[in-house]
Amino acid sequence: MLGRVEKYLLEKIAAEKTIHMTLIDPEKITPAQASIVAENSKDSGTTAIMIGGSTFSSQEHLDAVIQAIKKAVDLPTILFPNNVSGISRYSDAIWFMSLLNSVDPYFLVGAQILGAPLIKKFNIEPIPMGYIIVGQGGTAGVVGKAIAIPYDKPELATAHALAGQYFGMRFIYLEGGSGVANPVPPEMIRTVKKYLDATLIVGGGIRTREQAAAAAQAGADIIVTGNLIEVADNKQRIAEVIEGIKQKSK
Ligand code: 1GP
């Protein structure tokens, strides 16, 4: 049976075609700032809040950030962990993810084995997701020891995505890397989407209405933005990205 958060996401995608999620990196923000970002993002029309980063934030701080978000908005929270330390009892759900193009078994299945008992204990909803790093890959690529798939090799991204699907992962994430200059190209999204029978998430370097519209039109079901919350006019900028998604939605 599907969990509550996954069901909510699928219903939103069915109704709106493509949805937006805001990624909050706990390392870069105080709990008070996180509540403001969550409120602003909700006002702009985001569907859920993801929490995670590529480097380290203390467990205590992560817990405080999530508690602040939960207090501020009634949107679901989904952990986006880079390691076992990215698990918090206060989140509704967690991307139970494997970095499919990592050369290190720790990021394929090792961290997941260490984290699984905690997820059970805390009763967090696990949502199975295959994570694929493409293009420059940013910090996530380095930390996760991934062999990033070049943007001009959409067929390789498709092979990874299909492998994830056949393993039973219901979500596939094409990650260009946080803050990268060039987001995942529409051609790669289109090719993966054509063959994939899973929900497709795209993120990394999406900053404008046009980029979001192009990703939505190419077939992204979920578009994630993280860095955008750091700019002064973040509320406006996130609203523009969501407008782009709506205008050009598939
Ligand atoms: C990173 O895909 C996300 O994991 C979001 O990237 O921070 O560039 O929006 P940005």
- Residue 223 Cα, ligand 1 centroid: separation in angstroms? 9
pLDDT of residue 55: 74
Q: Are 113 and 156 in contact (CB under 8 A)?
A: no
Which is the closest atom of ligand 1 to the Cα of 173? 2
Q: What number is the average pLDDT over the span 6-22?
A: 98
The reported pTM is 0.97
pLDDT bin (cut points 50, 70, 90) of residue 104 is: very high
The closest of 132, 161, 160 to 146, measured between CA atoms, is: 132
Among 206, 208, 234, 241, say which to mutate for ligand 1: greatest number of ligand atoms within 8 Å of CB.
206
pLDDT of residue 247: 84
Q: Rounded to an integer, what distance in angstroms lies between the CA atom of residue 91 and that of residue 97?
A: 16
pLDDT of residue 33: 95
Q: CA dihedral in degrees (112, 188, 18, 234; nearest 10)?
A: 80
pLDDT tens track for 115-141 = 999 999 999 999 999 999 999 999 999
Distances in Å between the alpha carbon of 179 and those of 17, 29, 119, 189?
Answer: 25, 16, 29, 18
- Residue 207 Cα, ligand 1 centroid: separation in angstroms? 9
106 Cβ partners below 8 Å, 6+ apart?
Answer: none
Alpha helix ranges (H) inside 73-168: 105, 111-122, 138-143, 154-167
pLDDT of residue 248: 64
pLDDT tens track for 141-164 = 999 999 999 999 999 999 999 999
Which is the closest atom of ligand 1 to the Cα of 225? 9
pLDDT of residue 1: 82
pLDDT tens track for 215-228 = 999 999 999 999 99
Which is the closest atom of ligand 1 to the Cα of 52? 4
